[in-house]
Amino acid sequence: MSSNDSAEGEKTVTSAAPAWVIGVRGAVVDVAFAAGVLPAVDTALWISIQGSAPILAEVQAHISETAVRALALQSTAGLARGATVHVGAGPIEVPVGEAVLGRLLDVAGVTRDGGAPLPPSVERRPIHRLPPPLSAQSGATRLFETGIKVIDLLTPLAHGGKAAMFGGAGVGKTVLVMELIHAMAEQYGGISVFAGVGERSREGHEMLSDMRSSGVLPRAVLVYGQMNEPPGARWRVPLTALTIAEHFRDERRQNVLLLMDNIFRFVQAGAEVSGLLGRMPSRVGYQPTLASEVAALQERIVSVGEVAVTAIEAVYVPADDFTDPAVTTIASHVDSMVVLSRALAAEGMYPAVDPIASSSILLDPLVVGAAHTAVATEVRRVIEHQRELQDVIALLGMEELGIEDRLIVQRARRLQRFLTQPFAVTEAFSGQPGRSVALADTIAGCQAILGGECDDWQESSFYMVGTLDEASTKEARSKEAGITSVPA
Which residues are 58's β-sheet partners? Answer: 44, 71
First to last CA, the chain: 54
25, 81, 129, 200: which one is catalytic?
Answer: 200
SS3 track for the chain: CCHHHHHHHHHHECCCCCEEEEEEECCEEEEEECCCCCCCCCCEEEECCCCCCCEEEEEEEECCCCEEEEEECCCCCCCCCCCEEEEECCCCEEECCHHHCCCEECCCCCECCCCCCCCCCCCEEECCCCCCCHHHEECCCCEECCCCHHHHHHCCEECCCEEEEEECCCCCHHHHHHHHHHHHHHHHCCEEEEEEECCCHHHHHHHHHHHHHHCCHHHEEEEEECCCCCHHHHHHHHHHHHHHHHHHHHCCCCCEEEEEECHHHHHHHHHHHHHHCCCCCCHHHCCCCHHHHHHHHHCCCCEECCECEEEEEEEECHHHCCCCHHHHHHHCCCCEEEEECHHHHHCCCCCCECCCCCEECCCCHHHHCHHHHHHHHHHHHHHHHHHHCHHHHHHHCHHHCCHHHHHHHHHHHHHHHHCCCCCHHHHHHHCCCCCCCCHHHHHHHHHHHHCCCCCCCCHHHHCCCCCHHHHHHHHHHHHHCCCCCCCC
- In the set 173, 234, 411, 417, the catalytic residue is 173
User: What Rg value do the Cα atoms of the chain yield, rounded?
Assistant: 25
Query: What is the crossing angle of helices 290-298 and 263-276, to 10°?
Result: 140
With beta carbons less than 8 A apart as the criterion, state whether 193 and 241 touch. Answer: yes
Among 58, 93, 145, 199, which one carries the catalytic annotation? 199
CB burial class (10 A; 0-12, 13-18, 19+) of residue 458? Answer: buried
C-alpha 66/C-alpha 38 separation (Å) is: 7
Q: Is 199 a catalytic residue?
A: yes
> Which residue from 331, 372, 371, 339 is spatially nearest to 355, judged by alpha carbons?
339
Across the strands, what pairs with 126? 93
Catalytic machinery residues = 173, 199-200
